[in-house]
């Protein structure tokens, strides 16, 4: 039987790190070395491997991801049937979401990594890489958008979050759970999100500076009126509860909203920002009356990435609002 063609792109991360001479772990292993550590990988797919970058996850940039997305699109145009991106887990939930925006609909794209370095007892990198290749090579993963695969679980890019600093079970989709799993060498998809089509104009990865500001108990948001002068073109507010901020911060938010798009998210890890329930000063209804854009179920970090990419295009405010409505709700069909 002909094996599916899968491209593995490595970007660095813990999965590739070894101890440096002066102490601490640093990216060192390339794609070939990572693949050689996975028994039976060649039985799953015909693998092409490329060492694309060698960075820790926290140092990846928009430009890095735009280049990765371009390579993914080119690979599918050349006939590969799936792509695996290997990187550091610090930013997997962010980069998978950006790749979903920049390379949606091209074919199965899977992002994976490891919580433990190669030299650690119980290193999880080889198992994660094997599962990721199985998913990328499978028919079941087609049409699922970008998936994050670790610990034999499949998570949708729009929903996944890193929930622990060290556990191999660190990745979860709060409020939803995984959309599939790998068991006995078989890929099983148990749920699919509403289809998302790429937003025209995002493919090049052009972006604008967007601030992310968390407002907690007793804060007045005095930093918000300074953002425009610092060169920011938008701001995402990480609020409390269902989208609530201290009443003392409303004036600063109103000023910011008069200068730039302001998106409202919540620090709560599950559930959407409300749009029609509470009406006290600093509540979601109060902020929406000021022109604040609801972020739906997107985390603040993902909302910042989406807004940054949208502001890198000629899109107008009404189109930005529509894009958030389309991408922030995983149950809403688009296109």
Cα end-to-end distance, the chain, whole Å: 36
User: Is residue 159 within 8 Å of residue 173, measured between CB atoms?
Assistant: yes
Give the H/E segment covering residue 284: helix 284-288
- DSSP letters, 178-203, are -SEEEETTEEEE---PPP-PPPTT-T
Strand partners, 48: 7
Rounded Cα gap, residues 112 and 288, in angstroms:
37
* Strand order from edge to edge, sheet including 262-266: 210-214, 234-239, 262-266, 293-294
> Residue 292: which of 222, 238, 226 has the closest Cα?
238
Task: Give the tokens for residue 264.
Answer: 């409202």
Rounded Cα gap, residues 239 and 202, in angstroms:
27
Task: Give the tokens for residue 82.
Answer: 């799936």
Rounded Cα gap, residues 219 and 167, in angstroms:
33
Rounded Cα gap, residues 11 and 65, in angstroms:
10
Q: Where are the alpha helices (DSSP H) in the chain?
A: 31-36, 41-44, 62-77, 92-102, 125-136, 250-257, 284-288, 300-310, 317-328
Rounded Cα gap, residues 332 and 149, in angstroms:
23
Active site residues per annotation: 14
Task: Please tell me the total number of residues recorded for the chain in this structure.
Answer: 335
Rounded Cα gap, residues 10 and 313, in angstroms:
29
Q: Residue 252, by phi and psi: left (phi above 0), alpha (psi -120 to 50) or beta?
A: alpha
Rounded Cα gap, residues 110 and 96, in angstroms:
8
């Amino acid at each position: 039987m002909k094996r599916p063609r899968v491209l593995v792109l490595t970007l660095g991360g813990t999965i590739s790190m070894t101890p440096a001479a002066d102490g601490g772990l640093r990216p060192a292993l390339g794609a070939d070395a990572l693949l050689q550590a996975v028994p039976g990988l060649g039985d799953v797919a015909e693998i092409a491997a490329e060492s694309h970058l060698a960075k820790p996850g926290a140092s990846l940039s928009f430009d890095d991801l735009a280049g990765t997305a371009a390579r993914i699109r080119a690979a599918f145009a050349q006939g590969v049937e799936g792509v695996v991106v290997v990187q550091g887990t610090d930013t997997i939930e962010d980069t998978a979401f950006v790749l979903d925006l920049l390379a949606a609909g091209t074919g199965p794209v899977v992002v994976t990594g490891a919580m433990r370095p190669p030299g650690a007892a119980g290193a999880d990198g080889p198992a994660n890489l094997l599962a990721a290749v199985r998913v990328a090579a499978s028919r079941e993963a087609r049409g699922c958008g970008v998936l994050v695969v670790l610990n034999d679980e499949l998570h949708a890019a729009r929903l996944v979050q890193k929930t622990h600093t060290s556990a191999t079970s660190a990745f979860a989709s709060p409020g939803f759970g995984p959309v599939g799993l790998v068991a006995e060498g078989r890929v099983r998809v148990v749920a699919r999100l509403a289809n998302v089509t790429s937003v025209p104009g995002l493919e090049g990865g052009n972006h604008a500076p967007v601030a992310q500001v968390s407002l907690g108990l007793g804060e007045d948001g005095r930093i918000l009126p300074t953002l425009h002068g610092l060169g920011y073109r938008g701001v995402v507010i990480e609020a409390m509860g269902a989208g609530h901020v201290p009443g003392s911060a409303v004036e600063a938010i109103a000023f910011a909203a008069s200068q730039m798009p302001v998106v409202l998210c919540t620090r709560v890890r599950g559930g959407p920002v409300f749009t029609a329930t509470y009406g006290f000063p600093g509540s979601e209804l109060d902020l929406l009356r000021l022109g604040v854009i609801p972020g739906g179920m997107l985390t603040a970090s993902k909302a910042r990435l989406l807004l940054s990419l949208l502001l890198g295009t000629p899109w107008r405010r009404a189109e930005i609002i529509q894009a958030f409505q389309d991408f922030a709700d995983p149950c809403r069909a688009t296109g």
